[in-house]
Amino acid sequence: MERADVVVIGAGVMGTSIAYHLVRRHAGRIVLLEKETVCSGTSAKSSAIVRTHYSTRPTAAMALLARRMLERFREDAGGESGFRRTGMLFIGAPAEADGVKKTVEMNRELGIESELITPVDVRRIDHLLEPADGAPLVWEPRSGYGSPHEVASTYARRFTELGGVLRQAAEVTAIETTGGRVGGVATPVTRIAADHVVIAAGPWAQRVGQLVGLRLPVMASRQSIVTLRPRFAYDDGHPIVADLANEVYFRPETGNLILLGNTRHGDDRPGDPDDYQDRPDAGFVEDVVTRLSRVMPASAEAEIAGGWSGMYEISPDWNPIMGTVSAISGLHYCVGFSGHGFKLSPAAGLLMAEQVVDGRATTLDITPYRLERFEEGRALKIAYARAGVIA
C-alpha cells in the first residue's frame, strides 16, 4: 500500500498553504489530495480582501502575521500572491462606536497600523465616500487585496517542486482509524496509509468530518458578489471599504469595476456546496446596490457588470476551527474560516505545519481555535453584532 507521512485533504488556499509549509519543514512524504482541481472551491469565489481589523484578538494577530507573509510572498514562497496595497477604510455602525474603539486599541497593541480618523480625513482618502453621520471611522494603511488563484497555485507549484505529491481529481472517500489513531485515507482508486491526516476541505468540512464520525460544525452558506461598472475612473487608488452602517464592503476590481459584497449576516441559511445557484438573486442586487449608493452616492449611476455566488464556511462563532482531534491522534483540522480565510491562509498553513510536526503551533497559539471550545462554552466573542464576517 502507498505510504505518506501526512495526507492533506483539499487544495484550496488552506490545503496548499499547509502542504507547502509541511514540505518546508521536511515533514516526510506529503500527499495533497483534491477532489476537483487546485483552487476550485470557495477560494475561487473570494473577494480576497486582506485586512487586519478584527475584534477577536487571536484572529487579529493571525491576520497581521498573514499580511506580513503576503507582503514578502515572493521571497518566502517563491511566486506571486497578487497582493496590492490600497489601504482599507472601516466604517462602523454608529451604535457600535465603543466596540470599534476597543478593537482599534487592541489591534494597535498587537502592532497593527490602525487609527481612528475623521470625516475630513475620509474625504482626503476618497472624495467619493460619504460615511453615515456619527459612524466611527478607522484607517488601515497597509491593507489591500490579493489573488487566491496566485496564492494557491504558487503554494501548489512550490510544494511539488520541493518533493510533495499533488493529486487532483482525487476525492477522499474514507478516513481510516485504528485504536484511536488515524491510519490513512482512501480514494476510489487507492488507499494511502498515513501517520497524519489534515482536513482542509472548506465548505465540505462537515462532510469530510463525517467520514470519520467527527462533527465539524461548519455551515456551507451561499453568499453573493455584484460587480458594477461606474462612469468614473475607479482603480487601486481607491481604498477597500467595509461599511457596517450600510452593511456592505467594496473594493476596486480589474477593469475599472467595483466589487461589492454584503456584511449583513445572522439570517444565513445552510446550502449545498455541490449544488447551488452561482449568481446573485435580482432582489439581492437591487438591495446591495442601493446600500452602496448611500455611502458612495456617485455609484448610483453605475451599470451592473456581473456577479457570482460562492460558499462561506461558517463556524458557530465566525472564527476558524484549527487543531488536532483529541480522540483520534494524528487527525487534524483547519476549517471554518467563515468568509474571511483567504487573508489568513499563509499564516494558517504555517501554524498547522507546526501543529503537525511539533505537536503544537508555536509562532502563534492556536488553542483558542480548538473544536472543543464550542462544547466548553469558550466560543470566541466578536464585537460586531450582525457582521460575523468581520469577526
Question: Taking the complex as a whole, how short is the minimal distance between the CB of residue 183 and ligand FAD, in angstroms?
Answer: 17
Q: Pick from 4, 8, 43, 299: which binds ligand FAD (CB under 6 A)?
A: 43
Q: Which three cell numbers stand for residue 209?
A: 468530518
Q: Which helix (H) or strand (E) holds 227?
A: strand 219-229
Q: Pick from 40, 168, 256, 293: which binds ligand FAD (CB under 6 A)?
A: 40
Question: Taking the complex as a whole, how short is the minimal distance between the CB of residue 274 and ligand FAD, in angstroms?
Answer: 9
Q: Looking at 42-50, 118-126, 278-286, 293-301, which segment touches ligand FAD (CB under 6 A)?
A: 42-50
Question: Taking the complex as a whole, how short is the minimal distance between the CB of residue 338 and ligand FAD, in angstroms?
Answer: 7
The verdict on 88 binding ligand FAD (CB under 6 A) reads: no
Question: Taking the complex as a whole, how short is the minimal distance between the CB of residue 123 and ligand FAD, in angstroms?
Answer: 25
Q: Pick from 4, 6, 100, 201: which binds ligand FAD (CB under 6 A)?
A: 201
Nearest-angstrom CA–CA distance, 196 and 333 = 11
Q: Which residues contact 143 (CB under 8 A, 6 or more apart)?
A: 49, 50, 51, 52, 53, 67, 85, 86, 87, 88, 239, 240
Do the bridges between strand 49-50 and strand 144-145 make them parallel or antiparallel, or are there none, so unpaired?
antiparallel
How many residues belong to the site for ligand FAD (CB under 6 A)?
A: 41
* The one-letter amino acid at 22: L
Neighbouring C-beta atoms of residue 284, cutoff 10 Å: 16
Instruction: Give the footprint of ligand FAD on residues 9-38 (CB under 6 A).
Output: 9-15, 33-36
Nearer to ligand FAD, 110 or 211 (CB): 211
Nearest-angstrom CA–CA distance, 83 and 72 = 10
CA 45 to chain centre: 11
What would the DSSP string read from start to end of 342-381?
Answer: TTTHHHHHHHHHHHHHHSS--SS--GGG-GGGGTTT-PPP
Are the beta carbons of 150 and 48 closer than 8 angstroms? no
Instruction: Give the footprint of ligand FAD on residues 224-263 (CB under 6 A).
Output: 225, 261
The verdict on 194 binding ligand FAD (CB under 6 A) reads: no
Q: Which string of x and - marks every residue 284-323 that binds ligand FAD (by CB under 6 A)?
A: --------------------------xxx-----------
Binding site for ligand FAD (CB under 6 A): 9-15, 33-36, 40-43, 45-49, 148, 171-172, 200-204, 208, 223, 225, 261, 310-312, 337, 339-343
